[in-house]
Structure 1
Amino acid sequence: MSAPVKSALLLAKQWPEPASTAAGRRTLDILDLLAEAGYRVEIASPAQPTPFQARTGYGEHRIAVNDASFDQWVRALNPTLVIYDRFVMEEQFGWRVREHCPGALTLLDTSDFHSLREARHQALKSGQPVNLFHPTAEREVAAMARCDLTVMISQVEVALLKQHFCLPDWQLHYLPFLVRDLPDPKALPGFDERRHLVMIGGFKHAPNRDAATWFAREIWPQLHPLLPGVECHLYGAYADHAMQRLNDPAAGLRVYGRTEDALATLARYRLNLAPLRFGAGQKGKILDGWLVGTPAVTTPVGAESMAAEETWGYPLSDDPEQFAATTAHLYQDRVAWFSARDAGNQALETGFSYRQHAAAFIERLESIAANLEAHRNRQIWGRILRRTEYRAEEFMSRWIEAKNRGTDT
């Protein structure tokens, strides 16, 4: 008798765009891992299709929010694993999945700890200390508690969730970006073959918008005189009018918008700048630079969860003057540049190994699935949050659905 088919359903807020966002690429990495492990993979989203979404080859389905048509559809699909790519997707669809597919293992993939990113953003704007305990954090942590497992891309955030929000270790799993094949430094352009500086990152992402603006206003005026004739080129999907206004060719600052091949683009430049003042999770832009031998100059937030502070080879700083001085030094000093490139190679080898993390992730899923009832019996807070008096998102969705039916008649 053949084994039952394992199936995984991703409920995605947006269709994955791996060329636009690091989160999109990470999502596809997880789906590819599951496919390799024998899962039939399906993707469903309420978002409109875009010309930039990945052509995955997996099943793709349009679904509607606040609509009971999802119930019959997901019951017929009957996935063994359901993945929510944002906590808001768990809020919207989690109660429906629990009702119609109670045996499905549920997984929340945060990409980064959204609440931490939001708290840091508010602290930057207000000048006050970071406050982790805000309404968005309550919603996000509640979604984690309701799921069988939460996948985190940052060990810093795993520790934060355990220490400050009392989530147990057995409900969390660390899964970084995965690198299958390490680059050969000898096959990549060297110091003398590269020119100029680059910044890259989708402009729908608030940390990237802030980084580009802060760089243009505070860092570039100090850096440009230190590097005569050197330009900085900004790339990013969804470069709206506000980002295009940063374009200043006369001052050597150029905004190019979307690039079709981030790796090929990054490989042309001598340094990859990531002046992030807030954010969370691992930084795909830094990883991409390392993959093509382009050293990164970043801040403490940018470096977080990528590599230990002492391994970068320069002082991590969010002071504009120090950031400019570090960039100028690495750009002009061949020895310092090669040292920074070697540090990136070492980080790839020690922190992002596919062989080290892929099998452990699949084994974790299969272990939970094999003992799902016992696993859920340990989740007292998840059980409490699933009780009627705490199901605010479900009842709001039901009210909207009923209201929409009344409007249609």
Structure 2
Amino acid sequence: MPQDVSPKRALLIAKQWPEPASTAAGRRTLDILDLLTDAGYSVDIASPAQPTPFQAKTGYREHQIAVNDSGFDDWVRTLDPTLVIYDRFMMEEQFGWRVREQCPHAVTLLDTSDFHSLREARHQALKSGQPLNLFHPIAEREVAAMARCDLTIMISQVEVDLLKQHFCLPDWQLHYLPFLIKKLPDIETLPGFEERQHLIMIGGFKHTPNRDATSWFAQEIWPRLHALLPGVECHIYGAYSDHAMHRFSDPKTGLRVHGRTDDALATMARYRLNLAPLRFGAGQKGKILDGWLTGTPTVTTPIGAESMAAEDCWGYPLSADPDQFAATTAHLYRDQTAWLTVRDTGTRALESGFSYRHHADAFIERIESVAANLPAHRNRNIWGRILRRNEHRAEEFMSRWIEAKNQL
């Protein structure tokens, strides 16, 4: 990546160092940074997280920072970014007030990756059996962070609409930016129906929806599916696997839980079907995108399909019923014509919804429009101004108190 200092300087403050081989969120983060580089930005990444052996070698300038540390103030003032991106609302809570004080003219963006509050609400509804409650304390924190920023990047149009309708966020504070694909795969060069065998599930096990999907699949779907497809195996891959996940391995029936795979796309291309039995979650699903990129038909649930493609664009009935999920999987595994139909729907979804060319220019234009009219943009954002004046001061004073306590 270019190392020259540019008048346009972007700083990503990341909750974790990007791990594109471990999470779809890590890949998306790097896609955004590469997009900014293509637009002439100089890029820096800063994170309070400890480095990991799996983080990407990005080529960007990387900085270790700390929470509740006034040393960040001098550092960020010297860096003088023109654009600051907070990766998750927690980073805006920790560092937003400091950036606002030291770099008042920097455009601030919040990248939610997915709407964390929606994912949490769905998880609680699933566990409790109670109706979905969107208005919980985490939602208050996340929406407040959105209001304090100049712009929020959303990966799901469904979530953009939800924020406008239920949380009254204005359209001019939200920007839809899906996963971006620069080059479509040549499906005809990928392994075909007869060259593939067995089933795959994939997804990092730090992500709660993936842990739940593995548990639900192993206990509810796999016994039904194994009876329909005797001799067919299902291999589950995921970074940060642990005993709680590996205990679902059952070699006698062909269910195998593996750890991470170094190349998710190459691994997936060996399998006949990709399964994404998600019962809760939010945002777009990298595992489904990987299926489309490798020509591997994906069987998923309504939650998995949300924001990826319309319900009538999958080639089979979407369902979270274990019997229906197993029946759909067995049918597609055996029927080559149906398999090809579903594979082709994935290719069309890539073409219509994830084009880099279509979305990249609009994203940069949106940022530069906000930057060119920043005072008027912020004057318009009355709730953000109120929150920065009142509620966010609590974050500042708590941080200053912790810092003083640590020094003592």
Q: How far off its partner does 1:312 sit?
A: 0.4
Q: 2:124 aligns with which of 98, 104, 122?
A: 122
**8 Å CA contact retained: 2:278, 2:304:** yes
Q: Distance in 1 between matches of 2:172 and 2:378?
A: 11
Instruction: Classify the secondary structure of the residue corresponding to 1:228.
Output: coil
Does the alignment pair 1:71 with 2:73? Answer: yes
Distance 1:389 1:84, change over 3 A: closer
- The equivalent residue for 2:239 is 237
Instruction: Classify the secondary structure of the residue corresponding to 2:110.
Output: strand
Does the alignment pair 1:382 with 2:384? Answer: yes
Q: 2:322 aligns with which of 320, 323, 329?
A: 320
Q: What are structure 2's unaligned runs of at least 5 residues?
A: none
Q: How far off its partner does 1:377 sit?
A: 0.6
Q: Distance in 2 between matches of 1:292 and 1:382?
A: 43
Q: 2:167 aligns with which of 146, 149, 165?
A: 165
Specify the code of the residue in structure 2 equivalent to 1:39: Y
- The equivalent residue for 1:285 is 287
Instruction: Classify the secondary structure of the residue corresponding to 1:66.
Output: coil
Instruction: Classify the secondary structure of the residue corresponding to 1:331.
Output: helix
Q: Distance in 2 between matches of 1:354 and 1:390?
A: 36
Q: Distance in 1 between matches of 2:309 and 2:388?
A: 38
Q: Distance in 2 between matches of 1:389 and 1:397?
A: 13
- The equivalent residue for 1:134 is 136
| TM-score computed with the length of structure 2 as normaliser | 0.98
Q: Distance in 1 between matches of 2:179 and 2:213?
A: 22
Specify the code of the residue in structure 2 equivalent to 1:45: S
Q: How far off its partner does 1:160 sit?
A: 0.0
Q: How far off its partner does 1:395 sit?
A: 1.3
| 4+ long deviations beyond 6 Å | none
- The equivalent residue for 1:331 is 333
Specify the code of the residue in structure 2 equivalent to 1:55: K
Q: How far off its partner does 1:225 sit?
A: 1.1
Q: How does 1:102-117 map to 2 (within 5 A)?
A: 102-117=104-119
Specify the code of the residue in structure 2 equivalent to 1:184: D
- The equivalent residue for 2:29 is 27
Q: Distance in 1 between matches of 2:174 and 2:352?
A: 21
Distance 1:238 1:73, change over 3 A: same
Distance 1:400 1:216, change over 3 A: same
Specify the code of the residue in structure 1 equivalent to 2:318: L
- The equivalent residue for 1:221 is 223
Q: Distance in 2 between matches of 1:388 and 1:249?
A: 58
Cα deviation code 1:18-67 (max 9, x no counterpart): 00000000000000000111111000001000010000000000001001
**8 Å CA contact retained: 2:6, 2:40:** no
Q: How far off its partner does 1:392 sit?
A: 1.7
Instruction: Classify the secondary structure of the residue corresponding to 2:45.
Output: strand
Specify the code of the residue in structure 1 equivalent to 2:289: L
Instruction: Classify the secondary structure of the residue corresponding to 1:249.
Output: coil
Q: How far off its partner does 1:388 sit?
A: 3.7
* Worse overlay, 205-214 or 385-394: 385-394
Cα deviation code 1:52-111 (max 9, x no counterpart): 000000000000100100000000000000000000000000000000000000000000
Q: Distance in 2 between matches of 1:266 and 1:391?
A: 48
**8 Å CA contact retained: 2:10, 2:81:** yes
Distance 1:97 1:226, change over 3 A: same
- The equivalent residue for 2:353 is 351
Q: How far off its partner does 1:394 sit?
A: 1.4
Instruction: Classify the secondary structure of the residue corresponding to 1:282.
Output: coil
Specify the code of the residue in structure 1 equivalent to 2:297: P
Distance 1:133 1:354, change over 3 A: same
**8 Å CA contact retained: 2:6, 2:41:** no
RMSD of the TM alignment (CA)?
0.9
Q: Distance in 1 between matches of 2:217 and 2:26?
A: 25
Q: How far off its partner does 1:391 sit?
A: 2.1
Cα deviation code 1:326-368 (max 9, x no counterpart): 0000000111100000000000000001110001000100111
Instruction: Classify the secondary structure of the residue corresponding to 2:56.
Output: coil
Q: How far off its partner does 1:4 sit?
A: 6.5
Q: Distance in 1 between matches of 2:390 and 2:104?
A: 16
| TM-score computed with the length of structure 1 as normaliser | 0.98
Q: Distance in 2 between matches of 1:393 and 1:402?
A: 14
Distance 1:238 1:390, change over 3 A: closer
Cα deviation code 1:247-269 (max 9, x no counterpart): 11111100111000000000000
Specify the code of the residue in structure 2 equivalent to 1:206: T
Q: Distance in 1 between matches of 2:395 and 2:167?
A: 21
Cα deviation code 1:164-210 (max 9, x no counterpart): 00000000000000011111111111100000000000000000000
Q: 1:100 aligns with which of 102, 113, 116?
A: 102
- The equivalent residue for 1:248 is 250
Q: Distance in 2 between matches of 1:202 and 1:372?
A: 38
**8 Å CA contact retained: 2:85, 2:109:** yes
Q: What are structure 1's unaligned runs of at least 5 residues?
A: none
Q: Distance in 1 between matches of 2:241 and 2:188?
A: 34
Does the alignment pair 1:143 with 2:149? Answer: no
Cα deviation code 1:251-304 (max 9, x no counterpart): 110011100000000000000000000000000000011001001000000000
Q: Distance in 2 between matches of 1:93 and 1:224?
A: 50
Instruction: Classify the secondary structure of the residue corresponding to 1:337.
Output: helix
- The equivalent residue for 1:83 is 85
Q: Distance in 2 between matches of 1:116 and 1:101?
A: 31
Instruction: Classify the secondary structure of the residue corresponding to 2:252.
Output: helix
Q: How many residues align?
A: 404
Instruction: Classify the secondary structure of the residue corresponding to 1:210.
Output: helix
Instruction: Classify the secondary structure of the residue corresponding to 1:221.
Output: helix
